[in-house]
Amino acid sequence: MTIGVNGIAHIQLTVNNPDACIPFWERLCHFLEMQTLIRDKDIVYCIGSRTGILVRGAPLENRDRPFDQNTAGLHHFCFRARSREDVDAIFGFVSGELKAKVIHGPQEGSFAPGYYSILFEDPDGIRVEFNHVPGKGHFGDEGRLGSGQGPATRLGDD
């Protein structure tokens, strides 16, 4: 027996700099039409848009360990936007209002047919992506799984 899940309920992040990260994430979540459920100086938990984001400060004794996306753990996570225009609007907000470190602005990619995304970092360097893929993406007629090509053997441009 198998089941299909209904998305991701919440993501929890631990940050070294809660003074910068808590307001950053709360403002981003509010822009995404999420509401704050829990808020204190070292924690924020926002819900809505069919998900939840919880950000908490690391214990003081662990705050000297910088985030490294190339070690075990989170590399980045990606929100799915409803349109290219939404990706553009989010980019305007994170680059203009939040002054996030932008890894790349709105651009097309080859990961899936019509892939369009931005990538930026929070104040601790945790990478966040927003993308839009029209139609069924990899499950559509032009996608690897919809066309019958099947899984790729590597991650790359094709």
pLDDT in tens, 103-158: 999 999 877 888 999 999 999 999 999 999 988 766 777 766 777 677 777 766 55
Q: Which fold, 76-147? A: 2,3-Dihydroxybiphenyl 1,2-Dioxygenase; domain 1 (3.10.180)
Q: Where in the chain is the domain with CATH 3.10.180.10?
A: 7-59, 76-147
Task: Specify whether the CB–CB gap between 118 and 90 falls below 8 A.
Answer: yes
Task: Specify whether the CB–CB gap between 118 and 74 falls below 8 A.
Answer: no
Q: What is the pTM of this model?
A: 0.87
Q: Which fold, 7-59? A: 2,3-Dihydroxybiphenyl 1,2-Dioxygenase; domain 1 (3.10.180)
SS3 helix, strand, coil % of the chain, rounded to 5?
A: 20, 30, 45
Strands (E), 58-115: 76-80, 101-108
